[in-house]
């Protein structure tokens, strides 16, 4: 019997945000190739699933009907004039041919992951095309059209499950936080580069939720150049105690890999080892797990990071040398990595000290503000 599920579709090749856009669809195919080359797509105990597009009614459980109508109107690649009012148009959220089909497929994959886990068919599922955490009910934001993470959490809630959301993308998981800001049955935790420095400009410790939801939104802002040596202890001081106190039935994890030190859009400095370690901790703490992808704009990191994550989710140890079949394929994209893991990188002492001071202060503030609310 399968205990894990990997959700993947080749249909992504049909879509393209545009030549100048940092979100390259190739990253999904390349990730699949690396998983395949390592033998991770034929693991005993791991089922493969092809997602179906989510029906409109399922998306309408969260997104506003007028916004859905606009996405449908944009599906031919030609935006009506009013599209800009919904965040659609040149820039972050381009209108490309099939934009609505693409959004439905992302949503379908994450809802499938949620269903498989909620029905007890598997304990852990990974949909690496998902995790588009910025979209809100009435508009697109930050390369995200439909918030598949919100839809997956809602699906789990419909099964009566208590959900913790842990988001390790370099950007604040603002859309997911907003959707459950007043809800004490969904704990959202996001670690990210500080809002003064990076889109979307939110995710401060003081954003703790509202009404009955006070205490159930948790944010740990990080300083530029935060590396694994600073990140992992900070993660450890914040995330496990909160999860232990909240006692979720299921954890939804957003595993954006744009906190990596070579990511072109952000300024954090994690390596693949640190990312994989964080995924391992989340996996250990999750009674059941719905893992989603997220950001990541250096193709090589995306393939290596999510392959390492899928190995962790299955308890498989991988040899560090990248398989020759993948290395060959990656060369077509101008990529030359030979190892799954990164070389150590030097960070100047004065920078490391400043980063440690900032992150340490944020950790203290989180613990002082939120822990008493959970009787920790």
- Using CB under 5 A as the binding rule, the residues of this chain from 92 to 131 that contact Zn ion are none
DSSP state of 55: P
In whole angstroms, give the CA distance from residue 250 to residue 289.
Answer: 6
**Residue from 256, 274, 293, 305 in contact with Zn ion (CB under 5 A):** 256
In whole angstroms, give the CA distance from residue 31 to residue 129.
Answer: 10
Q: How many residues bind Zn ion (CB under 5 A)?
A: 6
Query: Where does this chain touch Zn ion (CB under 5 A) — which range of 38-46, 165-173, 239-247, 352-360?
Result: 165-173
State the nearest-atom distance from the C-beta of 176 to Zn ion, in Å. Answer: 12
3-state secondary structure of 193: strand
Cα–Cα distances in angstroms (integers) from residue 38 to residues 32, 45, 97, 323, in the given order: 10, 16, 34, 6
Query: Considering only CA atoms, which of 254, 245, 240, 247 is closest in space to residue 287?
Result: 247
User: Which string of x and - marks every residue 284-323 that binds Zn ion (by CB under 5 A)?
Assistant: -----------x----------------------------
Strands 250-254 and 217-222: unpaired
Query: Considering only CA atoms, which of 256, 255, 267 is closest in space to residue 226?
Result: 267
| Comparison of 5 and 129: residue with beta carbon closer to Zn ion | 129
Query: Where does this chain touch Zn ion (CB under 5 A) — which range of 146-154, 171-179, 181-189, 277-285?
Result: 171-179
171 in contact with Zn ion (CB under 5 A): yes
State the nearest-atom distance from the C-beta of 89 to Zn ion, in Å. Answer: 21
| Comparison of 108 and 294: residue with beta carbon closer to Zn ion | 294
CB-closest chain residue to Zn ion: 295
For residue 171, indicate whether it is catalytic: no
DSSP state of 212: G
**270, 272, 276, 279: CA torsion to nearest 10:** 50
3-state secondary structure of 179: helix
264 by Cβ neighbours in 10 Å (0-12 / 13-18 / 19+) ranks as exposed
| Comparison of 148 and 169: residue with beta carbon closer to Zn ion | 169
State the nearest-atom distance from the C-beta of 133 to Zn ion, in Å. Answer: 8
DSSP character string of 59-91: HTTTS-HHHHHHHHHTTTS---GGGGGGT-SSS
State the nearest-atom distance from the C-beta of 69 to Zn ion, in Å. Answer: 28
DSSP state of 270: B
Catalytic residue (one of 134, 172, 192, 260): 134
Place of tokens 């269903």: 115
| Comparison of 274 and 295: residue with beta carbon closer to Zn ion | 295
| Comparison of 22 and 184: residue with beta carbon closer to Zn ion | 22
**Residue from 174, 258, 263, 300 in contact with Zn ion (CB under 5 A):** 258
| Comparison of 40 and 308: residue with beta carbon closer to Zn ion | 308
User: Which string of x and - marks every residue 199-238 that binds Zn ion (by CB under 5 A)?
Assistant: ----------------------------------------
Active site residues: 134
Where does this chain bind Zn ion (CB under 5 A)?
169-171, 256, 258, 295
């Amino acid at each position: 019997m399968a205990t894990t599920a990997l959700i993947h579709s080749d249909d992504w090749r049909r879509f393209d945000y545009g030549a100048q856009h940092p979100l390259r669809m190739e990253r999904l195919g390349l990730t699949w190739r690396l998983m395949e080359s390592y033998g991770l797509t034929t693991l005993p105990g791991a089922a493969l699933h092809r997602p179906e597009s989510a029906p409109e009614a399922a998306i309408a459980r969260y997104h506003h009907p007028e916004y859905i109508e606009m996405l449908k109107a944009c599906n031919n690649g030609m935006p009506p004039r009013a599209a800009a009012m919904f965040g659609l148009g040149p820039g972050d959220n381009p209108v490309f041919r099939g934009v609505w089909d693409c959004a439905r497929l992302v949503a379908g994959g994450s809802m499938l992951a949620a269903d498989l886990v909620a029905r007890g068919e598997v304990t852990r599922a990974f949909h690496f095309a998902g995790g588009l955490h910025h979209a809100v009910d009435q508009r697109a934001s930050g390369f995200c059209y439909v918030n598949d993470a919100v839809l997956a959490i809602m699906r789990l809630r419909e099964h009566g499950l208590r959900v913790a959301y842990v988001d390790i993308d370099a950007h604040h998981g603002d859309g997911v936080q907003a959707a459950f800001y007043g809800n004490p049955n969904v704990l959202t935790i996001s670690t990210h580069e500080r809002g003064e420095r990076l889109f979307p400009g939110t995710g401060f410790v003081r954003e703790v939720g509202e009404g009955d939801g006070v205490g159930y939104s948790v944010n740990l802002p990080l300083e530029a150049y935060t590396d694994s040596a600073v990140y992992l202890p900070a993660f450890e001081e914040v995330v496990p105690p909160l999860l232990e106190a909240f006692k979720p039935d299921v954890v939804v994890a957003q595993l954006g890999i744009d906190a990596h030190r070579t990511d072109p859009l952000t300024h954090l400095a994690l390596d693949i080892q640190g990312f994989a370690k964080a995924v391992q901790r989340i996996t250990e703490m999750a009674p059941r797990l719905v893992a989603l992808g997220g950001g990541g704009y250096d193709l090589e990191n995306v393939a290596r990071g999510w392959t390492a994550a899928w190995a962790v989710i299955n308890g498989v140890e991988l040899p560090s040398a990248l398989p020759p079949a993948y290395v060959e394929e990656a060369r077509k994209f101008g990529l030359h990595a030979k190892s799954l893991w990164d070389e150590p990188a030097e960070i100047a002492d004065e920078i490391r000290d400043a980063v440690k001071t900032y992150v340490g202060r944020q950790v203290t503030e989180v613990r002082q503000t939120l822990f008493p609310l959970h009787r920790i």
